Amino acid sequence: MVKNVFGRIYIGLIMLFLYAPIVVLIVLSFNNSKSRAKWGGFTLKWYSELFDNSIVMDALWTTLTLAILSAVIATVLGLLGAIGIDAMKKRNYQIMLGATNIPMLNADIVTGIALMLFMVRFLPLGFSTMLIAHITFNIPYVIFSILPKLQQIDVSVYEAARDLGANSVKAFWKVIIPIIKPGITSGFLLAVTMSLDDFIITYFTRGAGVNTLSTVIYGEIRRGIKPEMYSLSTILFLMVLIVLVMSNRASKKQVK
């Protein structure tokens, strides 16, 4: 099929577009020259120097803690929220959905500034304000991952569990949670991803001296980004890639 060949080429070009910058960054992480325009030979020195760079390591630590912590809290709040919203009557349900949509639809810059203006009244800007901000924009992703799964559940599944002798908590824990588990997992992973990738909201809610990778890099742009950043990003990216490929393989084997 000629059409299919063109189709594949087109998809290939889009993939190239999406992944070109990533390839560039990976290549730069092995570049011996500090200039980003010239290839100065292959080196691993940015990888070894990475661990001595306290600014980068601190930022990495903050970024990861922020991502995991905000995703965990958002998942718990979001799971409870989704279950509650699912049980609501039409009017409240619509109101809650609308409110949940606000952080997703509102401009990041407005969300960031609004949170900053509000929180600065009673909290010093720093890790805690960043954490609250990240939880706030993560929850909608969790809720919108879980809610559709809850709505797909046949009520009789829960009733069957009760019929077979499970009390309400047990029926919920043993039946409903396993069914919506894919939604919980994807909500959590999305939350981690969004937290890691965020710049604008973090930028407005952070305090002096507390940095994530994004804010460090943003600050370095004018002066030139330290090559250690490339190697760090490469490591993070490849780790996620490997995990993804492996989980994909595992799920394929399960199917077989």
Partner 1 sequence: MKRMSRKHLATPYVFWIICFTILPLIYIAWYAVSDGDGGYTVENILAIFEPVHWKAFVLSIELALICTVVCLLLAYPVVLILRRLKIKKKGTIVAVLILPMWMNFILRVYAWQVLLSDNGIINSFLGMLGLPSINIINTPAAIVFGMVYDFLPFMILPIYNSLMEIPNDIIEAAKDLGADGFTIFRKIIWKLTLPGVISGITMVFVPAMTSFVFSDILGGGKIQLIGNVIEQEFTTSMNWQLGSGLSIALMTIILLIMALLQKSNQQTKGNNMIW
Which 14-43 residues touch partner 1, going by CB under 8 A?
14-15, 17-22, 24-25, 28, 36-37
Residues 78-117 that bind partner 1 (CB under 8 A): 78, 80-81, 83-88, 92, 96, 99-100, 102-103, 105-111, 113-117
Q: Indicate which single residue of 180, 184, 190, 201 sits in contact with partner 1 (rule: CB under 8 A).
A: 190
| Contact present, 173 and 161 (Cβ < 8 Å) | no
Q: What is the Cα 88 distance to its own chain's centre?
A: 28
Query: Considering beta carbons, is residue 25 or 49 the nearer one to partner 1?
Result: 25
Closest CA to 94 of 23, 15, 158, 147: 147
**Burial tier of 10 (Cβ tally within 10 Å: 0-12, 13-18, 19+):** exposed
Closest separation between CB of residue 44 and partner 1, Å?
A: 19
Q: Cβ contacts of residue 6 below 8 Å, gap of 6+?
A: none
Is the Cβ–Cβ distance between 244 and 236 less than 8 Å? no
Nearest distance in Å: CB 48, partner 1: 20
Please tell me whether residue 68 binds partner 1 under the rule CB under 8 A: no
Site for partner 1 in 147-176 (CB under 8 A): 148, 158, 168, 171-172
| CA angle (246 as vertex; 241, 247 as ends), nearest 5 | 100
Shortest CB 218 distance to partner 1, Å: 5
Q: Which is nearer to partner 1, 11 or 44 (CB)?
A: 11
Q: b/e string for 138-167 if b means 16 or more Cβ within 10 A?
A: bbbbbbbbbbebbeeeeeeebeebeeeebe
Interacting span for partner 1 (CB under 8 A) from 41-49, 50-58, 235-243: 235-243
**Closest CB to partner 1 among residues 44, 105:** 105
